Amino acid sequence: MRILLVGAGGVGAAFAAIAERRDFYDRIVIADYDLARAEQAAIDPRFVAAQVDASDPASIEALCREYAITHVMNAVDPRFVMPIFDGAFAAGADYLDMAMSLSYPHPTEPYARCGVKLGDAQFAKAHEWERTGRLALVGIGVEPGLSDVFARYAADELFSEIDELGTRDGSNLTVEGYDFAPSFSIWTTIEECLNPPVIWEKGKGWFTTPPFSEPEVFDFPEGIGPVECVNVEHEEVLLMPRWVDCKRATFKYGLGDEFIDVLKTLHKLGLDKTDKVKVGGVEVSPRDVVAACLPNPAELGPQMKGKTCAGLWVTGKGTDGQPRSTYLYHVVDNEEVMADYGHQCVVWQTAINPVIALELLATGVWSGAGILGPEAFAPKPFLDLLVDYGSPWGIKEMPIAETAS
């Protein structure tokens, strides 16, 4: 296996640090628009640094052919999904990502009906990938990714009937020395949180609501505690119903009041927009300016304290036919992963999952063709490897009276 890792930012660098300890591949080419950043992440003799233009499919294809790449790992923000996706296909390589192609709101009813959904541009090409026997494994970060593996595991092992698959993400992270410092890409966070959230219901399909809808307080495990969560647009809702039988699928993010207020203010001022505006003779994107003004999340690790939790709240009937409410989760302590890997917990928790997926593909435990989500694969080998990597997952039984949403 020869991997092209596109992007040497926070998640890409953490991916390299995790992969450095494994032996399932022959080479990893770490490519970034900033060659120096790629070189900094190339910490192993099996790693090679390269420069790439992620917005150009031809640049991706050329690098794949130069190094005889078998698998392209996309670790940049979702603006670049389609050129990397198309470049991998043109080169005859398999493809993995952690975020899917961008959505676009419905032109007249954005808070009721879907327009272009996350991943639509990729799924439109599914036949081409199937016909050529190539695999595009989409949404294999932590959320989407591990949460989707949890969905398949719940369906296979824990439930006979599923009412709701409710992804719930929360943390108690703080960043010393900053009044406001997101622990993940603000560009991506704005995209997820200000777009109309998507919900799926059996018989109704996918539909949207206004941002920050259906607030609930969810009690996260391992000392994180209660966090207010709201509906957010996310890939799980677009992926899980394709492969897992359920009555409803949702995603709620534990943002907290302050973060929600900041996002609402950015939207009110137009600073969430990606279209460029002219400032002093220079054209800039307002969202890019916001990102440039905030600290780099990948560099916040030493100032961060606390834990982050990704998980899936499943309700329905257990294998015994009785009502069941279960939260499957993965908690990462920032202090622990900083000491062990030197990367902060949010990017590390995202990066470990595609490394595991690639190992399963390399060993033949996972295989497939077409455009597939993590739900399409056997979950137990993935969860076993997660433990083997030294990062166990957990199960918390919830009161039966409670239901997701």
Residue 220 belongs to a domain with what CATH number? Answer: 3.30.360.10
Instruction: Specify if 4 maps to a domain.
Output: no
pLDDT of residue 235: 97
Burial class of residue 396 (count of CB atoms within 10 Å of its CB; 0-12, 13-18, 19+): middle
pLDDT at residue 405, rounded to an integer? 53
| 312 occurs within a structural domain | yes
Query: What pLDDT, on a 0 to 100 scale, did the predictor assign at position 103?
Result: 95
Q: What is the rounded average pLDDT for all residues in the chain?
A: 94
Cα–Cα distance between 365 and 373 in angstroms, integer? 15
pLDDT of residue 404: 53
With cut-offs at 50, 70 and 90, classify the pLDDT of residue 48: very high
**Domain assignment present for 257:** yes
> Is residue 277 situated within a structural domain?
yes
Q: Is residue 75 part of a domain?
A: no
401 vs 238, higher pLDDT: 238
Total residue length of the chain: 405
User: Which of residues 296 and 130 earns the better pLDDT score?
Assistant: 130
> Half-sphere exposure of residue 99, counting CA atoms within 13 Å on the CB side?
20
Q: In which band, very low, low, confident or very high, does the pLDDT at 188 lie, cut at 50, 70 and 90?
A: confident
Residue 201 belongs to a domain: yes
- Residue carrying structure tokens 């953490």: 14
Number of structural domains the chain divides into? 1
pLDDT band at 52, cuts 50/70/90? very high
CA–CA gap between residue 356 and residue 393 (Å, rounded): 14
Question: In this structure, are residues 382 and 356 in contact, taking their beta carbons and an 8 Å threshold?
Answer: yes
pLDDT over 60 (residue 403): no
The Cα 164–Cα 222 span in angstroms is 23
Within-domain flag for 338: yes
Classify residue 385 by its DSSP letter: H
C-alpha–C-alpha distance, residues 185 and 365, integer Å: 32
Kindly state whether residue 328 falls inside one of the protein's structural domains: yes
Say if residue 46's pLDDT is above 70. yes
Residue 125: exposure state from Cβ atoms within 10 A (0-12, 13-18, ≥19): middle
Q: Above pLDDT 70, what percent of the chain?
A: 99
Look up the domain containing 203 and give its range: 146-345+392-397
- Peptide linkage before 221 cis (omega within 30 of 0): no
